[in-house]
Amino acid sequence: MIKLGEMQSLRLNKVEQKHLIFIDENGTEVYVTKQKGQEIIEKGEFREVFVYKNNNKLEGSLKRPFLVIGEIGYLKVNDITDIGAFMDWGLDKELFLPFAQQKGQLRVGHQYIVGVYLDKSERLCATMDIYDMLSTESPYKVGDRVKGTIYSMKRGLGAMVAVEDKYHGLIQEKDFFGKSIGDKVDARVVKVREDGKLNLNLFDSVYSKMDDDAEKIYKMLVKAKGFLPYNDRTHPDTIKATFNMSKNAFKIAIGRLYKRKLIEITDRGIKLTD
């Protein structure tokens, strides 16, 4: 039985001028376009063939694409049209990414994390909605460092992360700032939920070596969406009332944040760097 979007062993049945015609055990034909320099295959030999539909016709390739159905990975956008985007997945035929399956603003030449699925017409397509493709059976425990990619953001919840491009992760909304879909993150696991999904802390690595005052100011900046109207010219009483620290301690703390290139100090106040 032919399986769309997968590599499968098929037998060469006929050789035409432009095509090699492979069949499965039921005699279903798959047309593979001949390529220059392609190895000579004798009738009756078996080869691994990647199969897809093109205008309701079964076609195939002896080359494995970068992603097969059900897999997740990074593909480059070759073109953006009125009907959607087209991505390079290693075959002559590009992979279609419908508008309904896009998240955030796409740019030609940039790579995005996607999965491959079959639409209702049995056409292979890409999707940036990879939630159902991620696993909850990760090997990680609380305290582990992980890397991942933000693939979705939900107001009131946070940033959805594909941890190591395989597992479910979440950075709560209150714990991140200045990130967008497609950004890669370095985080620490702070909780393994009962359902196996991972809660992550993005800023743990940022302020792990800060002193208490610098960490406090940094967290307040994050909570304030990246800007606070205070700087080294703010009155000491205002600093004390706002941060519960002296003016001198405040200046030292923001100086440390500035040296680490975590903030900018302006005439209006302090803000997180991009």
User: CA–CA separation, 118 vs 116, rounded Å?
Assistant: 7
Asked whether residue 172 falls in the same domain as residue 217, the answer is: no
Asked whether residue 201 falls in the same domain as residue 139, the answer is: yes
Residue that finishes a domain, picked among 180, 205, 230: 205
Asked whether residue 144 falls in the same domain as residue 180, the answer is: yes
Asked whether residue 120 falls in the same domain as residue 141, the answer is: no
Asked whether residue 138 falls in the same domain as residue 191, the answer is: yes
φ, ψ of residue 32 in degrees (nearest 5): -115, 120
CATH of the domain at 79: 2.40.50.140
CATH of the domain at 244: 1.10.10.10
Q: What is the pLDDT along the chain (274 residues), one digit of tens a residue?
A: 899 999 999 999 999 989 999 999 999 999 999 988 788 899 999 999 999 998 889 999 999 999 999 899 999 999 999 999 999 999 988 999 999 999 888 999 999 999 999 999 999 999 999 999 999 999 999 989 999 999 998 888 889 999 999 999 999 887 766 678 888 888 889 899 999 999 998 765 444 545 778 888 988 998 888 899 999 999 999 999 999 999 988 999 999 888 888 899 999 999 998 6
Asked whether residue 126 falls in the same domain as residue 144, the answer is: no
Residue that finishes a domain, picked among 174, 205, 236: 205
In a domain, 2, yes or no: no
Query: Total structural domains in the chain?
Result: 4
Q: How high is the pLDDT of residue 274?
A: 66
Q: Which domain holds residue 236?
A: 209-272
In a domain, 260, yes or no: yes
Q: How high is the pLDDT of residue 210?
A: 58
CATH of the domain at 43: 2.40.50
Q: What is the DSSP string of 15-40?
A: E-SSEEEEE-TT--EEEEE--TTPPP
Q: How high is the pLDDT of residue 236?
A: 93
User: CA–CA separation, 11 vs 49, rounded Å?
Assistant: 9
Q: What is the DSSP string of the chain?
A: ---TTSEEEEEEEEE-SSEEEEE-TT--EEEEE--TTPPP--TT-EEEEEEEEETTEEEEESSPPS--TT-EEEEEEEEE-SSEEEEE-SSSSPEEEEGGG--S---TT-EEEEEEEE-TTS-EEEES--GGGSBS-----TT-EEEEEEEEEETTTEEEEEETTTEEEEEEGGG--S--TT-EEEEEEEEE-TTS-EEEESSHHHHTTS-HHHHHHHHHHHHTTTEES--TTS-HHHHHHHHSS-HHHHHHHHHHHHHTTSEEE-SS-EEE--
Asked whether residue 254 falls in the same domain as residue 232, the answer is: yes
What does pTM read for this prediction?
0.71
